[in-house]
Amino acid sequence: MMEACNLVTVHRTTGVINVPRIIRVRSHSPSTETVYVRLLLGQTPKLWEEAAEALAVALGAERIGIERIRPQVIALIVQRSEPFTQVVVPPDLPTDAEAVDLSRVFLGETEHGTDWHAPLIGQHWLITGATGSGKNSITWMALRACAPLIRDGLVRLHVVNPKGTELNALRPVAHRYAESDGDIVDVVQGFWSTMQARKQVLAEQGRRTFAMSRETPLDVLVVDELGAVTGYGDRSLTKGVQAVLPLILSQSRALGGSVIGALQEPTKDVIPQRDLFSLRVCLRATSAGHVDMVLGDDMRRRGALADEIPNVPESAGIGFVVRQRSRTPVRVRAAYCDDTDIADLVRVAGWPHSELTTVAG
């Protein structure tokens, strides 16, 4: 098989064929296994990445991801079938703020059978995917973790909902909420004004880092459709948002500001600041080019085949993230929040209406 995939070497004098050595095989589930391989002299992980498609065919697998473990050792993540055959159920909603750890928010499961966690505080999230791919599942999981913190005034939501559909459930608990073009600009620019005021407070207190408190809460800007406000929306809307969005993404993480943005078409014209998002998730995509646009160069070649995820309801919430230490794409599935879960979020987060500064849509 290695010979057929051009992954062997031939000794130039003796003609002996040298074959890469399998160190061990680890089975995570009936659908996914990891094969650890010692490379031959002269081979590189990139050579194996280029042969990944041929390897998948040879092994009868749906996809193969390549991960560099250490010098001369790589891991082949072999997905033989879909690892996510059941909906991931979200955990119980926390009711005690002390029990919430925003540096480790539960989002779903990985293809290795482990929980998928991601930090929210001090981070910006970009969630991309085609219509019906389940982008808002990730948003709802983050907000469920924040529910008791919203109630206690430790987290404030700034919600931009140009579609006026799913996220309108957040209207009762949002610090600021907008649907119309003019109000959207007000909310985004108001968020930046909050960050500027926060910078002044930290400077006056002689503090270099943000600490979440009622006096300085974590401000979370949630944008349901970034493309509608940055790329193909009304010119006055996009101009007003683009005037401050790069500043928000580049400066607000250290000031207690986080952005969660959802996007259908991840092109450079729509979201030119996508590299400023520290966590990027690519769910089912309509184009192979979208994968590298979101996750980074060569991520599709390394196994992030988001464009091959079936366009069926059963695949909602399935996609890829990049493991930061190894820069390896990992298949994940977000937990699914139904209407009852969302209602519980609003109930626990319940904020006195008199304290809202909501911008009417």
Query: Do 351 and 302 fall into the same domain?
Result: yes
Is the Cβ–Cβ distance between 176 and 359 less than 8 Å? yes
Query: Do 131 and 19 fall into the same domain?
Result: no
Per-residue pLDDT of the chain (361 residues; tens, 9 = 90+): 999 999 999 988 898 999 999 999 998 888 999 999 999 999 999 999 999 999 999 999 999 999 999 999 999 999 999 999 899 999 999 989 999 999 999 999 999 889 999 999 999 999 999 999 999 999 999 999 999 999 999 999 999 999 888 899 999 999 999 998 889 999 999 999 999 999 998 888 888 788 899 999 999 999 998 888 877 656 778 888 888 999 999 999 999 999 999 988 787 666 677 788 999 999 999 999 999 999 988 899 888 999 999 999 999 999 999 987 778 899 999 999 999 999 999 999 985 543 444 444 3
Query: Do 115 and 201 fall into the same domain?
Result: yes
Provide the residue range defining the domain that includes 61: 9-79
d(Cα 37, Cα 332) in Å, to the nearest integer? 24
What is the longest distance spanned by two Cα atoms in the chain?
85
Query: Do 112 and 58 fall into the same domain?
Result: no
* CA 102 to centroid of chain Cα atoms: 15
CATH number at residue 48: 3.30.980.40
Query: Do 46 and 168 fall into the same domain?
Result: no
Query: Do 156 and 262 fall into the same domain?
Result: yes
Last residue of a domain, one of 49, 79, 109: 79
Query: Do 104 and 218 fall into the same domain?
Result: yes
Q: Structurally, how many domains does the chain consist of?
A: 2
d(Cα 271, Cα 107) in Å, to the nearest integer? 24
Query: Do 210 and 120 fall into the same domain?
Result: yes
Is the Cβ–Cβ distance between 108 and 337 less than 8 Å? no
Query: Do 70 and 122 fall into the same domain?
Result: no
